Amino acid sequence: MLKSLVYENRRKNNGKRVIDKIISGGQTGADRAGLDLALARGIPHGGAIPWGRRTEAGILPDKYQLVEMETDSYPARSEKNILDADVTVIFTHGKLAGGSLFTRSKARQHNKPVLHIDLDKRGLSEAALILSLFLRKNRVKVVNVAGTRASKDPAIYRKTYAVLDLCLERRGVQLDLFFPE
């Protein structure tokens, strides 16, 4: 039954992608999970990265098609990605802090939809459903994935990737049940 629902959803969408592009700043952790998921699923990816392609783990590999900015400013990078996306999704374990807090503040300042997914409060399936509903509500084509870096939260990459993967895998099936066309 589930396989037939997935097939039917893909047929209704004529094979179109649920999301046209995933962007991020390329930092370790949540940012990189978004990019790696895009690569694994064949979804175009990109985003802005500070001059020198700097991340906490060193220079971002060339396989990630991010555009190098003329500044080495992480805040400028974050703001550009917010402006270039339809929505921003921020993944953390716990309260927003540092760059993630800045990102939410800038998204709100620019009247851009922003969703904070606190993985301490949500299981992976629930987070994926919340994300699916948010994407559907905002008719998203380009998603900016942001959140905690790996040095501050070693589990954030794996959980962010899992939520995004579940969201894309089950999005049409779940939402067609809630919002029939």
Cα–Cα distance, 5 to 178 (Å, whole number): 13
Contacts of residue 28, defined as CB under 8 A and 6 or more positions apart, other chains included, come to: 55, 56, 57, 149, 150, 151, 157
Strands 87-92, 114-118: pairing kind: parallel
pLDDT of res. 2: 34
| Runs of H (alpha helix) within the chain | 2-12, 30-41, 74-84, 98-109, 124-137, 156-178
pLDDT of res. 48: 98
| Runs of H (alpha helix) within 15-123 | 30-41, 74-84, 98-109
CATH of 18-178, one of 1.10.10.10, 3.30.360.10, 3.40.50.150, 3.40.50.450: 3.40.50.450
In the numeric block, which tokens belong to residue 24? Answer: 């991020």
pLDDT of res. 17: 60
* Every domain of the chain and the residues it spans: 18-178
Single pTM value for the model: 0.86
DSSP at 99? H
- 107-116 burial, b for 16+ CB within 10 Å, e for fewer? beeeebbbbb
> What is the number of other CB atoms lying within 10 angstroms of the CB of residue 136?
16
pLDDT of res. 169: 86
Q: Is 16 left (phi over 0), alpha (psi -120 to 50) or beta?
A: beta
Q: What is the mean pLDDT of each run of 10 residues along the chain (181 residues)?
A: 37 59 98 98 97 95 97 97 99 97 98 98 96 93 98 98 93 44 40
